[in-house]
Amino acid sequence: MKSLPIVLALALGAGGATLASAADPFTKGKAAEYAPDNTGRNVRDRGNTPTSGNQSEKKPDRDLTQQIRKAVVADKGLSMKAHNVKIITVGGVVTLRGPVATEDERTSVAAKAEQLAGAGNVHNQLEVTK
């Protein structure tokens, strides 16, 4: 643990000035000042945006999330990004978050969620990234 501050200081000294230029192009403002490791998105998404910490522990919500995850992972035509999207269910309403490789993947994941949750019960916040 003693070497962590030294490593961190070296990393910041060597590349700290370039963090903003390496940030996610979808992240704007203060959040763009963070390294490209989702920290910027996490800062951006504080507040009213559902995160995995908001996942309901009620059995119907957990079951719905599990069914959607299984449907997404079973589709071998989707990229690893799409297989790893966040699926957050609260009160039967599903929020999809995270990056996908193409607009087709964005549509496909949302369609799977809507098929299981019902039309009007899915908030598609998936982002197409390269």
Residues 112 and 65 in one domain: yes
Rounded-to-integer distance, Cα 86 and Cα 69, Å? 9
Please give the mean pLDDT across all residues of the chain. Answer: 79
Task: State the pTM of this model.
Answer: 0.67
Is the distance from CB of 34 to CB of 45 less than 8 angstroms? no
- Expressed as residue numbers, the domain containing 17 is 3-44
68, 56, 57, 64: which is closest to 126 by C-alpha? 68
- Amino acid identity for residue 51 in this structure: T
Whether residue 56 sits in one domain with residue 38: no
Q: What is the pLDDT of residue 52?
A: 80
Domain identity same for 58 and 35:
no
Residues 65 and 109 both lie in one domain? yes
What pLDDT digit, counting tens, does each position of 30-46 carry?
Answer: 655 655 556 666 666 66
Using alpha carbons only, give the angle 70, 71, 76 rounded to the nearest 5 degrees.
Answer: 100
Give the tens place of pLDDT for each residue, 85-118.
999 999 999 999 999 999 999 999 999 999 999 9
Query: Total domain count for the chain?
Result: 2
